[in-house]
Every structure is written in structure tokens, then in C-alpha cells.
Structure 1
Amino acid sequence: MTSARPDPLDDAETIPRMPSWVTSARAETIEDVAFLSGAALGHLHIVVTRDDLPHPLLRDRLALRAAEACVAFSGRPERAGELRDAVYLLRPGDLPGPAGETFMTWRRVVRRPVSVSVLCRAVPTLEQSQIDTWLNAGQGAPISRAAMVLQTVLMEAPRAEALALILAEASLAKSLGWKHLIPLLAPGLKRADLRKQGDDLRLACHRALIASAVETIRLAADLARRAEHVKAVAPKLRAKGAAKAMEMFLARDAVAAAALPLPSRAARRLCDRLVDLRAVRELTGRGTFRLYGV
């Protein structure tokens, strides 16, 4: 009897999990929760600064999660699948719609090193001086600063949830010395949290960060394993343009075959081949207008 072939994605984890005491501890006071969120941030910092992580892909996928949360906060029904369709199947001259634009904005802010100029280009309706003022509204430790930025923006623009969260995330990234914005607060906060202020909002932000840090580390570990498999598969691909295509898969949450630098038929064959090799997955479950991702 022959043994089953080993699954290339079942290798031992290369990225350590969050210590169990961070997630299992019962903390009620803001001091206790702040301690745990600090521990979570410290562990997350070690993970997101690793060289073996597909950083652009991780940020792009987190941008999808952040956009999905913001769309829900605004009362719209679109979820991840619809957001992907709105952006990755967009044709020249078409508009992505409000939900798609939210996703595109998050993608823009995570792709380049965080700065006021990048934020201005991502949200062109705002003056640079206004963004700079809001970014500097916070004081104290990183999460306290981010919570204050969030509160300040929402007080002045109550329906601008996505903008407020983007600036809060930017404040957090700059306070932590991270080169890029990594969405953590948006995926972890609840809609009711955005109506809180002061200590209540800070407490909600600490708790949101703990939850998001755990999920981000789990996602990072999964993407690191998958990226390693993609790189192992790459030498087997002989199609012209395959190397560029693999770079796209390692940098984007999703890719349409039509976006690959190959003729349409060759692009579809390459995607089918990558699915067979378990290097990418088909994300939509459809027979047409398919999207693929690591």
C-alpha cells in the first residue's frame, strides 16, 4: 500500500502563533487590556517585519477585510466577493461604485509607504493641511493616539467611517515605526464602537487590535506557506510571461486571467495549471468571470 503524497501546504509553520496567554486572559480594565494589546502588537511587529512574508499580498488581503468592514459600517450589503468583482473585473471607463471605491482607496493606502502625500492621493477630496491636522490629533501611546484620531475625524465628519479608520491606521503605523499601513482597527472594530468616545473608544480599539493581530498572524502564516509553494512551482511554468504573472499573484489579493501579461487563451491555461498545482485558488466558484488568488 502506497502512502499518500504529502501536501505541500501542510509543512510546519514558519511563523510563530500568538502566545495563548494573550488571547485566553480575561481582562476587564483598560490597563489590563492595554497590556495585552501591547503584547499582541509586539508579537505582530516581529511577524510583519520578517523577510519571508509576501508583504504586498498580506496588505492587499487585509485591505479587502478593512474595506468589507467599512462598507458594512456604511450600511451597504456588499461583501468580499462583490468588492473583488467591483475592482478586479473593472473595465476601462467603468466606475467601481461606492463599495468598490472604498476597496480601491484601502488598496491605494496600503501599497505605498504611509505618508501625508500618499493619503492625499488616496483621498483627493481632502486638503493636505486637513489630513495633517487630523493625523496629529492624537497623543500618548500608539493605540491611544489612533483612537483619538478616529474620534476626532468622526466628530467632524460622522459618516466618513472609512476615512476616519484610514487615518487612525496611518497614525498607528507611524507611531509603531512601520513603513506601510497595515489595516488592524477597521477589521476588528464593531459598528457600535465607532459611536464611542474617550476611554470607551480606547478600550474598544485595544480589544479590536488583539483580535486583528491574532487573525493577521494566522493569515501571514498561511500566506507565507502558500508563497513558498508558489515559488517552488514557478520553475515548472514554461509560458512566456509566467514569471511576471507569478509576481502579480504574490502581490495582489486576486487576479483576473485577463489582467495577466499573456494572450487570453494562454492566461486561462496558466490559471488552470496553477490551480491544478495548488499554487493558486479560484475564488469565485463561477464558470466565467473567474478570479484567482494565492
Structure 2
Amino acid sequence: MTFARDTPIDDQDTLPRMPGWITLARSETLEDVAFLSGAALAHLHLVLRHEEVPQPLFRDRLALRAAEACMTFSGRPERAGELRDTVHLLRLGDLPGPAGETYLSWRRAAERSLSVKALGRALPTFEPDQIATWLDAGQGVPVTRAALVLEVVLTDAPRAETSSLILADAALAQALGWDHVVPLLAVGLKRTDLRKRGDDLRLACHRALVSSAVEAVRLAADLARRAAHLKAVAPKLRAKGAGDAVEMFLTRDAIAPSALPLPDRAARRLCDRLVDLGAARELTGRDTFRLYGV
């Protein structure tokens, strides 16, 4: 599964593109695919160091796409639009349901600095000691560590596909020295890959990370352009609280006007103004219960 690309707001890249030899190579052996995944992750690592990339927004959008992939793995019909509705239109006291819980798990895993405590918040059905034990099962270079964690969690808890993928991404992030979980593996893997073990699973993880890292770099570049445009038009927003609202748009995949720190009518006007300025998009296509995002 690959990321759906948003339409860029201009044709000029603000971040370096992934080298073509990574995206065009067709390799079958574990050694060759491991080389390509290492190169792709190294390039992504450099891109993530650019201050132009709105990191919280980037991870939140990846979390949505990882949750969507998990819906496919479990045979559920919910896709990005339904997942957004389930979480962002949730009212106090409502239950998010299985799809919403999956999306919330990914969001919680990616939003806070990487730690066993943060992962425990994202995966409340597992004890922190169990999470730490699973993470310690990963040894070796980054992708090998991630594959080992994925394998051991699925062996101990065969139905915990979402949890296994979150923890595998956590192991990968730890090995790469990243401060946060960056959801990558779920989007690149196939459902049948989750039944593989040993070298077959490692090969599947390397392949998945080549494709997902390439698409993540494209997403980062697009979000960098969109964030720059939003910051450029921000001085034109005169509503009280507009600055705080802009910061929220730079951290969340989608926002309901009611979540903004403004009165309801002012919040709706601000969202419409951002759309008019080309700094935000209405994501639902509805006349009511709208959601907006960069």
C-alpha cells in the first residue's frame, strides 16, 4: 500500500528529493534490498532534520495512513475519511469503536517523545513491562531489530497486529536515534507479510521501508511547502486567537472548527478564510460537520 499524494501547492521542492537509483532499483536478494532500505532511511533521516518540515503534522498524517493500512489488514471498510470522522468528531462520552481505537493508538504513539510510558499510553491493553520486554527482543541493525520485534509480538499475541506494528516502528525509531515513532512499516507491508517469519519477514520489512520512506520524503516535502504558505498568510488573519489556531493546523492532520480556540462562528470564518487563501483544505466535501487540514 502506498501513500496517496496530496496535490502540491507549487512546483518547487524545498527539500532534497530521494535519489532516483533508490526509487527505480528492482532487487530481490535480502542483501540488495537491505542496502536500498538503508539508503532510503538515511535520506529520510536527513529530511527529518530540516526545520521546514512540520514534524507533529507529518507524524500525525503518517499515523492516519498507518491506521488505514491496519483497517485493510483486519478486513474493515474504514478509510481515511471515516477514521477522521470517528476521531475528530468524537463527542465527550462517546466511544470511538475499534477503528477509532486503532487510529488513536497510532496518534498517541507518534505524538509524544518515544518512551515505554508513552507507548503504554498508546497501547493500554499491555503492561509497560511487557512492552519493554518486547522492545528488548530487537537486536542488531535497525530494520532487523524492527522485524524481530514485529515477529515476537505477533508470536506472543497473534491478533495484536496494530500493536506489533507500532512497537516495530518504535524499535526502528530507537535504533535510528529518532525522538518519536515515525509510522512507516504498516503502510509498506502487505497483510500476508505479517504471517512471515525469519529472513522472509526481514526481507518484507526492508521492501516495505523502501517504499514507505520514499513516500514519506514526498509527504515531508509537500507539508513543508504547505506549512510555509500557511505561515506566510498568517499575518493576514486578524481574528483573536488566530495565531494559536495556526499552530494547531501545523500539528494535526485534521481539525474541526469547534476544536479551535475561538468562538464557533469565528472559528468557521477563520477556516473558510484559510481555504480562500489556499492555506488549508476542507477535507470532507460536506456542508456540515466539516474538517479542515493543511
Shift of 1:25: 1.2
In the superposition, the TM-score normalised over structure 1's length comes to 0.96
Q: Structure 1 counterpart of 2:238, which letter?
A: R
Match of residue 112 from structure 1: 112
Q: Structure 2 counterpart of 1:192, which letter?
A: T
Shift of 1:9: 2.8
Shift of 1:74: 1.3
Deviations 1:236-293 (A, max 9, x none): 0000111111011000000001111111111111111110001000000111110000
Contact 1:282–1:292, Cα closer than 8 Å, also in 2: yes
Gaps of 5+ in 2: 1-7
RMSD: 0.9
Shift of 1:195: 0.5
Shift of 1:115: 0.7
**Which of the pair has the greater relative contact order for Cα pairs under 8 Å at 6+ separation?**
2
Gaps of 5+ in 1: 1-7
Match of residue 230 from structure 2: 230
Shift of 1:218: 0.4
Partners in 1 of 2:184 and 2:23 — Cα distance?
16
Q: Structure 1 counterpart of 2:219, which letter?
A: L
Q: Structure 2 counterpart of 1:215, which letter?
A: E
Match of residue 213 from structure 1: 213
Partners in 2 of 1:259 and 1:79 — Cα distance?
22
Contact 1:254–1:292, Cα closer than 8 Å, also in 2: yes
In the superposition, the TM-score normalised over structure 2's length comes to 0.96
- 2:161 is aligned with 1:164: no
Partners in 2 of 1:190 and 1:11 — Cα distance?
32
Match of residue 292 from structure 1: 292
Query: SS of the counterpart of 1:275?
Result: helix
Q: Structure 1 counterpart of 2:58, which letter?
A: L
Partners in 2 of 1:63 and 1:41 — Cα distance?
18
Q: Which runs of 4+ in 1 moved over 3 A?
A: none
Q: How does 1:270-285 map to 2 (within 5 A)?
A: 270-285=270-285
Q: How does 1:116-135 map to 2 (within 5 A)?
A: 116-135=116-135
Partners in 2 of 1:180 and 1:139 — Cα distance?
19
Contact 1:11–1:225, Cα closer than 8 Å, also in 2: no
Deviations 1:44-87 (A, max 9, x none): 10001111110000000000001111122111111100000000
Partners in 2 of 1:118 and 1:26 — Cα distance?
38
Match of residue 5 from structure 1: none
Match of residue 191 from structure 2: 191
- The worse-fitting range, judged by mean Cα deviation, of 122-131 and 252-261 is 122-131
Q: Percent same amino acid among aligned pairs?
A: 72
Partners in 2 of 1:229 and 1:89 — Cα distance?
27
Query: SS of the counterpart of 2:75?
Result: coil
Match of residue 4 from structure 2: none
Partners in 1 of 2:171 and 2:213 — Cα distance?
17
Shift of 1:11: 5.1
Match of residue 91 from structure 1: 91
